[in-house]
Amino acid sequence: MTICVSCGSTNLEFAGKYLHYGEKFREFFPDLAILSCKQCSLLQVDHSSVDEQKLTDYYRHFYRKEIDFVTLSKSHHALWNERGRALARLAAQHIKPVKVSKIFEVGAGYGYNLMAFQKQFENAQLFTDELASNLPPQSVTQANLEDGPYDIIIMSHVLEHLMYPKEFVLRVARNLRQGGLLVIEVPNEGNGQFVYQEKNGIPFHTGHLTFFSEKVLRLFFHNNFKELCIKQFGTAGPTIATMAKVKMLKRISRRLLGIFPPLLRGAERLFESVIERKIVAALNFSNDTNTFNKIYLRIVLTREDES
Ligand SMILES: [Zn+2]
CATH number reported for the structural domain that contains residue 80 in this entry:
3.40.50.150
pLDDT digits (tens, 9 = 90+) for 73-119: 556 777 788 899 999 999 999 999 999 999 999 988 778 899 999 99
Q: Is residue 59 part of a domain?
A: no
Taking the C-alpha atoms of residue 303 and residue 67, their distance in angstroms, rounded to an integer, is 34
Beta-strand relationship, 125-128 and 140-142:
parallel
Q: Is residue 200 part of a domain?
A: yes
Count of domains forming the chain: 1
For 268-299, letters b (16+ CB in 10 Å) and e give eeebeeebbeebeeebbbebbeeebebbbbbb
Which candidate, 241, 239, 267, places its Cα nearest to that of 254?
267
Q: Residue 257: its pLDDT value, please?
A: 67
Q: Assign 23 to helix, strand or coil.
A: helix
Q: Residue 100: its pLDDT value, please?
A: 97
pLDDT digits (tens, 9 = 90+) for 46-83: 988 888 899 888 888 887 777 654 455 556 777 788 89
Q: Residue 306: its pLDDT value, please?
A: 60
Q: Is residue 54 part of a domain?
A: no
Q: Is residue 156 part of a domain?
A: yes
Separation of 44 CA from ligand 1 center, angstroms? 9
Q: What residues contact 255, with CB distance under 8 A and at least 6 apart? A: none
Q: Based on C-alpha coordinates, what's the Rg of the chain?
A: 20
Separation of 286 CA from ligand 1 center, angstroms? 31
Q: Residue 133: its pLDDT value, please?
A: 58
Q: Residue 192: its pLDDT value, please?
A: 57
Low-confidence ranges of the chain (pLDDT < 50): 69-70, 195
Separation of 108 CA from ligand 1 center, angstroms? 29
The neighbouring-strand residues paired with 235 are 289, 297
Taking the C-alpha atoms of residue 135 and residue 257, their distance in angstroms, rounded to an integer, is 41
Q: Is residue 172 part of a domain?
A: yes
How many CB atoms sit inside 10 A of residue 83's CB? 24
Separation of 14 CA from ligand 1 center, angstroms? 13
Q: Residue 265: its pLDDT value, please?
A: 62
131, 179 in Cβ contact below 8 A?
A: no
Separation of 45 CA from ligand 1 center, angstroms? 12
180, 228 in Cβ contact below 8 A?
A: no
Q: What residues contact 196, with CB distance under 8 A and at least 6 apart? A: 187, 204, 205, 206, 208
Taking the C-alpha atoms of residue 125 and residue 122, their distance in angstroms, rounded to an integer, is 9
Domain hosting 248: range is 71-303
Q: Is residue 177 part of a domain?
A: yes
Q: Is residue 233 part of a domain?
A: yes
Q: Let me know if 143 is exposed, middle or buried by CB neighbors in 10 A (0-12, 13-18, 19+).
A: middle
Separation of 52 CA from ligand 1 center, angstroms? 20
Q: Is residue 15 part of a domain?
A: no
